[in-house]
Structure 1
Amino acid sequence: MTIGDSVRRAGTGRQAAFHLSALAAGAFLVRVLGEPWDTGFKITFPDSFSYLEVAGRGPFRPFDERPVAYPTFLWLTVRSVHVAVVVQTMAYAAAFLALGAVALRTLQSRVAAIAAVVLIGSIAVHARFALWNQQILSESLGMTFATASLAAWWIFCSGPTPRRAVWAWLWTIAWMCVRDSHTVPILTVIVPVAVAAALLWRGIDPAVRRRLLGGAAVTVVLGGWIYVAQDSSNRNQYPFHNNIGVRILPDDEMTQWFVDGGMPLNDTLRGREGHRAGTTARCSCATRISRGTATGPTARARAASCPRSC
């Protein structure tokens, strides 16, 4: 076989992979978006309303009740549920396709590469992950950026360059800015590993070392900002009010379970049935609890049931 034959064969293989991936992505989009399309992707989660409200206040709210990435995304998609769901689903599919492409490109064993692609694809299409794309929630964008970050770090490890280090950090920072909970794995795993690699990796390019250490420093600063911003906005009070009003009180069996566990129940608390955070006046006791001035499940339950004049 001549060199020309090898090149033509490789080109044919890449074209086939491209067409197969395009067909797979199309089938995935139809599967995720097709059934609920006529319903307009009706939102039901209380957090969805919160994200839309924050997005309505502007594209960048550094100390609002939500980290900036997802409200900014909703603002860019003109707060349209249809547009947001379609765009985030396409981005999700693109991220997993990119990860599969990285596996094919970097793994020398063809068997291992194909196995990796099959595994990546099976994760992408699993309902436990894929159906989050139908919701106006940060889980979709979080999975997309996490997958893109994994692909970027994989490429970097296969051949470290300053440019690849920058892209890896950018995708990681984007992932962190989607949800405040993402700061934990990033600051406790990715940052220490990157710093250790920069300091202990013998023969590393000095430019790569600087990018790794600089990216780690920026990530730590931004992680601290996200933590402070969410704490100052009393972010944790919203799921508390949402759980009481939207999940517990409308369910008689669940309400009785909490009452049996010590939750006091009165007319004030019953009046919150069906209400999410922000739709009615909040009890100041509950607000103080959510800010950390009292702790424990019983204290939280009492705060939720205290009169509005407390």
Structure 2
Amino acid sequence: MHQLSQSLALKAILLVPDNKKALPYVSIKQGPSESYSQFIDRFAAALKDAPDLTEEVQDKLFSTLAFDNANSHTRTILATLPQGSPVDEMLVRATRAEQNSQNAAFMATMHDAIKQQGHILAAALTKVEKFQEQRIVAPHEDTSQCLVLKDTSDIFLVKNKPATWRSLSVDMKTAKEVTLKDKEVTLIPTNVCVPLYSVKSLVGGLLLGRSSTSKRGIIVIPGLIDADFTGQVQILAYALQPPVTIPKGSRISQIVALESFLPHRRQPREPHQKERLDRSFGFTGHEVFFTVDLDDCPIRTVILQHGAQQL
């Protein structure tokens, strides 16, 4: 009954004529030349400031108007997705289409420049530099470090809820847009700053990729988040078929909360015992360096020749 009431309320909001709507978030639409990610940012900010809606209604309204209020070109692209697809999948599909359109425009410009001027290298370098300047935009916020937690309500596992009542994990969001240009592992910052539950608790977490992420060809490497880690959680990921752009705010990974049941948890920390703090992707013990004995490696005799000279 509760879900039916929410659904009817949402339909009532959407059926009000545009010229009679006083709700600012309903009238926000994607401009003809506006990117889909910019439109989603504007719409999410307006919806977040709406005190008259419950969280469930906000989520439903967000997913519905993210499609309905997009421009006609973007709606054509989003229509290729299964009905009911989440907004993060819409973002990936729309962003990929926008990049393909940019690449096509780039190739057309290159062809015209080469045909008219004949300066192949000069035209290529000029256009590439222009596109690089357009892509390198100063970030709106510093995503390299965590903000100071004001109170316990800002802690990740306290502030965020699982997708369903029986879910074992909580989704994380990426803190900035990242492009996986090759198959190398890339660090992606998230909106999660630990401790995950409280400063004194022994609750850590297991970082895993979402099934929908793997289905799109993005592989998230599992990782363990210690309870005494105090830095920003980052995702290790790579693409099976690069390049792949992951927009800011994408839910590509999740955290499964884990509590330590080791015997030492009942005892206070000794002064000589180390803490993880903000040191990530490392270890707290002695450093280990692997070496290779060059005398045991295969040896082959070669001749270097340059003109009539040999070495």
TM-score (norm: length of structure 2):
0.31
Higher helix proportion (structure 1 or 2): 1
Q: Rg larger in 1 or in 2?
A: 2
Higher strand proportion (structure 1 or 2): 2
